[in-house]
Amino acid sequence: MTNIWLTLDSPVAEVGETVSGWAQWEGLEKDARGVEVSLQYRTEGRGDTDRGTFSTTRQPAAGSGSVRFDLAVPAEGPITFDGRLIRVIWEVNVKLDVPWATDIVQTETITIFPRGGRTLWVQRNAPPPPPPPAPPAT
């Protein structure tokens, strides 16, 4: 049985930055043609759907191994959006290209912010500050 893992350095990035991490796999019964890691977006919702791949890296793959990736996020976006009528979803996709078999795929969703947006996300998701110390007893 083949196992594949995708580990991101961060689940968020801003437009114009880089999404980095590791892809690892083990248990391939025969060597794959290669491993491909790509940064993709897709839309869901009313009307036409859209899909795009902005950055891809491809390397040889053996029965088990790992690959480090750094994928460029386009400076012009689009950014992640979750609205009532449309959603823009960003994903890092790892695919082991196995000859004469079904390719093995692992996907992780990431959030792409506009410039400066990550700071707001970090502040919003930071743990609350500790309570102030109790006043001294009199």
- Report the greatest alpha carbon distance in the chain: 80
Q: Backbone dihedral region of 21: left (phi > 0), alpha (psi from -120 to 50 degrees) or beta? A: left
Q: Provide the 8-state DSSP code for 124.
A: H
CA gap 54, 15 in Å, rounded: 12
Q: What is the pLDDT at residue 73?
A: 93
- Overall average pLDDT of the 117-138 stretch: 64
Above 70 in pLDDT, residue 130? no
Average pLDDT across the chain, whole number:
84
Q: Is the pLDDT of residue 123 over 60?
A: no
Question: Burial code of 60-89, b = ≥16 C-beta within 10 A, e = fewer?
Answer: ebeeebebebebebeeeeebbeeeeeeebb
The pLDDT value recorded for residue 49 is 82
Hey, which of 86-95, 96-105, 126-135 has the most confident mean pLDDT?
Answer: 86-95
Per residue in 68-95, pLDDT tens? Answer: 999 999 998 899 988 888 899 999 999 9
pLDDT band, very low/low/confident/very high, at 15 (cuts 50, 70, 90):
very high
- What's the pLDDT tens digit per position in 33-69? 888 999 999 998 887 788 889 888 888 777 778 899 9
Of residues 108, 93, 107, 96, the one with CA closest to residue 26: 96
Q: pLDDT confidence of 125, banded at 50, 70, 90? A: low
The class of domain 3-114 in CATH terms is mainly beta
Checking if the pLDDT of 109 tops 90, the result is yes
Q: Residue 75 contacts by C-beta under 8 Å, 6 or more apart in sequence?
A: 15, 16
* Bridge partners of residue 32, in order along the sequence: 61
Highest-confidence range of 23-37, 62-76, 114-128, by mean pLDDT? 62-76
